[in-house]
Structure 1
């Protein structure tokens, strides 16, 4: 037990008896995720796919080979964009933490959370190397806090999904 709560009460993602997943997030965080998903979805649907806030959502095949980068963009950009839109739509659909999700839906939800995280990182020049030891009352702290919260949420969802995979044994360890 921790702080008077049973461990199961502290879990962000749990399994239901029928094998589905349930998120256990505060209503305020669910609302924030829905808001951010709608905002990012609108930006992705807009005319400017090169908007600076979308920079990390469009991976580059090469920083040195312009031709390779252009070919990759032509082949994959629309698929990546649609994947982000579908993931963000799912976040909007699951605006209540009481709605169970399949493993596939939770994976898609994870991709939506990560897209939001990456967009916030692009918009405010935040990365995993950013100093997260900030005064919460500082004006510039809010985007860093959001980035950190969404990074932690993505990590917790990833851990829950990985629990379904069997451990990979290292054959060379013998």
Structure 2
């Protein structure tokens, strides 16, 4: 299992992933980008970028997808009008930021040598991140874990339920991925704090 560590001289954060681990991370990040883009807050209509940036006609209601609703919670539970206005002004740029963070994971892994089609046994991928990129990865790990937790129905205090699932249960395997991304995130936080 990979762990992030801080390089003493360069200050960069490094990790080595097996080809399988790197491909799994790329897949998780890709699924997040796809989810964020398929139910886009603001369709790309070919407008001038500045005009698009100044247009605050984003969505005004909570997303229907439970993962997106978790990633973009309602800001004002007791004030529908304020919640609607807040969402209209913020959700589009929040989606863009989350998609860009997940895309950075994909790009970094591919730049480090992860092939488009993984077919090599024993392939190892070395990742080296500057502190800004490491923080971006950390934020994306949070989004990936929230997405997995929402899809699986993970709740605080239900560890025993997950621990008692048979190993061949697909939910147990998905929970193992959730735990692994949490482990990566934890080692990344530790590496950044050194």
Sort the TM-score into its range (normalised by shorter chain).
Answer: 0.7 to 0.9
Unaligned runs of 5+ in 2: 42-62, 113-124
Deviations 1:7-39 (A, max 9, x none): xxx871122332211123333221101011111
Residue 136, structure 1, aligned to residue 128, structure 2: no
Tell me how far 1:90 sits from its aligned partner.
0.8
Q: Which residue of 2 aligns with 1:170?
A: none
Residue 92, structure 1, aligned to residue 106, structure 2: yes
* Higher RCO, 1 vs 2 (CA within 8 Å, ≥6 residues apart): 2
Q: 1:58 aligns with which of 56, 60, 72?
A: 72
Matched residue count:
154
Tell me how far 1:48 sits from its aligned partner.
5.9
Kindly report which structure 2 residues correspond to 1:1-174, keeping only aligned pairs within 5 A, or say none. 12-16=3-7, 17-47=9-39, 50=63, 51-95=65-109, 96=112, 97-131=125-159, 132-134=162-164, 135-163=166-194
Aligned-residue CA RMSD (Å): 2.1
1:99–1:148 distance in 2 versus 1, CA, 3 Å: closer
Unaligned runs of 5+ in 1: 1-9, 164-174
